[in-house]
Amino acid sequence: MNIELPPLLHGLAPDHLADIVGGMGQPGYRAKQLAEWMYRHHAMDWGTMSNLPGTLLTSLAERFDPCGLTLQERQCSQDGTRKYLFELRDGQSIESVMIPMEQHATFCVSSQVGCAMACSFCATARGGLVRQLSRGEIVEQVQLLALDLMADPVEELGDRAFNVVFMGMGEPLDNVDEVAGALKILTHTDGLAMSPRRITISTSGHAEGLRAFLDLRLPVGLTVSVNTTDPDKRKRLMPIPGRTPLSESLDLAEMHARRIRRTVTVAYVVIDGWNDHPDEATALATLVARRPFKVNLIPMNRIDDRFGPPSADALLIFQKVLADHDVRATIRISGGDDIDAACGQLRRRRTS
Ligand code: SAH
């Protein structure tokens, strides 16, 4: 199937709306009204944009698609985690996750269909890279989750504010242009008006991606997935990112941290009997200490019988070794254990 699909409405930066609306013979204030529908009210169809003239809506509908994502499945966990499977216009599917935190919700979004990084512990890697997501498909994930949070509020949350983390399917720094385009819309005052401090990009950390990211000088947070400090083991666990020496990735990440004055997170998926030895914690501490970094320990979420979660003891000892070296480390409590909430699992169950 190779039918050209119209571009998504929600991939348009607010700055471009005046030109588009002007080109359709409409006065400038209509662009502002359109932006309000698109990004403040998260309008996903033309019918809701009630104060816009029919002629403008018809012209827009000829050129743009107001929604590219269709909800296929929504799972809610006992602990409040919500997992969404969205179908894209070409029949592909992606996952997004909502995780209620203490004060706010965290939206975990995808940046690609599949992934080319081939990490052996990750469900998304299994089918390789299918295609990039467009900026509109990234922005819509945030909007559809925001709408879901409004329609079905999480009671314990103090407010409806949300953070966005690029920790869903894909390697965001292999899709830098579209991710940057989405970030522009998310942070623009006439877009979703999010503070960049509420946004984090998570990367497997290959040098090309990190360099492209640094060149953009975006003030968003950064997480680097390290997972083991041993170069040979890292190449086996993360074949593509493993080609970049870890010290080089961490130097680039440190440059970003200093530039935006925000701590970089080192993510470490802890795998039973594989990278959970206290010696590995010491090696990690040596690499991380004296850098503006903190560590997030993520117990392995089992996807097959190859890699399993560490014992609670091993995890706590690992954390203590880091603390003894003055390295701050948190343990991520895995949400959504009762649903398919490890990244890529929902899509994999559907497609297999
Ligand atoms: N490609 C990016 C973002 C997507 S993966 C990255 O590598 O950071 C997001 C996070 O989920 C990464 O830290 C990754 O190491 C972790 N992850 C992937 N599969 C996992 C699994 N089965 N269990 C626990 N964490 C996993």
- Find out whether the beta carbon of 201 lies less than 6 Å from any atom of ligand 1: no
HEC assignment per residue over the chain:
CCCCCCCEHHHCCHHHHHHHHHHCCCCCHHHHHHHHHHHHCCCCCHHHCCCCCHHHHHHHHHHCECCCCEEEEEEECCCCCEEEEEECCCCCEEEEEEEECCCCEEEECCCEEECCCCCCCCCHHHHCEEEECCHHHHHHHHHHHHHHHHHCCCCCCCCCCEEEEECCCCCHHHCHHHHHHHHHHHHCCCCCCCCHHHEEEEECCCHHHHHHHHHHCCCCEEEEECCCCCHHHHHHHCCCHHHCCHHHHHHHHHHHHHHHCCCEEEEEEECCCCCCCHHHHHHHHHHHCCCCEEEEEEECCCCCCCCCCCCHHHHHHHHHHHHHCCCCEEECCCCCCCCCCCCCHHHHHHHC
Q: Say whether pLDDT at 214 is over 90.
A: yes
Q: Alpha-carbon dihedral of residues 212, 215, 220, 221, nearest 10 degrees? A: 60
Q: Say whether pLDDT at 46 is over 90.
A: yes
User: How many A from CA of 203 to the centre of ligand 1?
Assistant: 9
Which of the residues 108, 119, 122, 343 is marked catalytic? 343
Higher pLDDT, 79 or 183: 183
Q: Say whether pLDDT at 341 is over 80.
A: no
Confidence band for 123, pLDDT divided at 50, 70 and 90: very high
Res 166: pLDDT: 98
Ligand 1 pocket mutation pick from 343, 346, 347 by most atoms within 8 angstroms of CB:
343
Q: Say whether pLDDT at 225 is over 60.
A: yes
Q: Say whether pLDDT at 349 is over 80.
A: no
CA distance 303 to 299: 12
Question: Could you report the per-residue pLDDT of 159-194, keeping only the tens digit for each?
Answer: 678 999 999 999 999 999 999 999 999 999 999 999
Lowest mean pLDDT among 77-81, 226-230, 254-258, 293-297: 77-81
Catalytic site residue 122?
no
CA distance 228 to 267: 10
Name the pTM for this structure.
0.95
Question: Could you report the per-residue pLDDT of 86-100, keeping only the tens digit for each?
Answer: 999 999 999 999 999
- Domains contained in the chain, CATH given: 9-63 (1.10.150.530), 70-351 (3.20.20.70)
- Find out whether the beta carbon of 225 lies less than 6 Å from any atom of ligand 1: yes
Res 237: pLDDT: 97
Q: Say whether pLDDT at 68 is over 60.
A: yes
Average pLDDT over residues 27-36: 97
CA distance 243 to 285: 21
CA distance 216 to 221: 13
Mean confidence (pLDDT) of the chain: 94
Q: Whose CA is nearest to atom 1 of ligand 1?
A: 171
Which of the residues 95, 171, 178, 280 is marked catalytic? 95
Q: Say whether pLDDT at 63 is over 60.
A: yes
What region does 168 belong to: left with phi over 0, alpha with psi -120 to 50, or beta?
beta
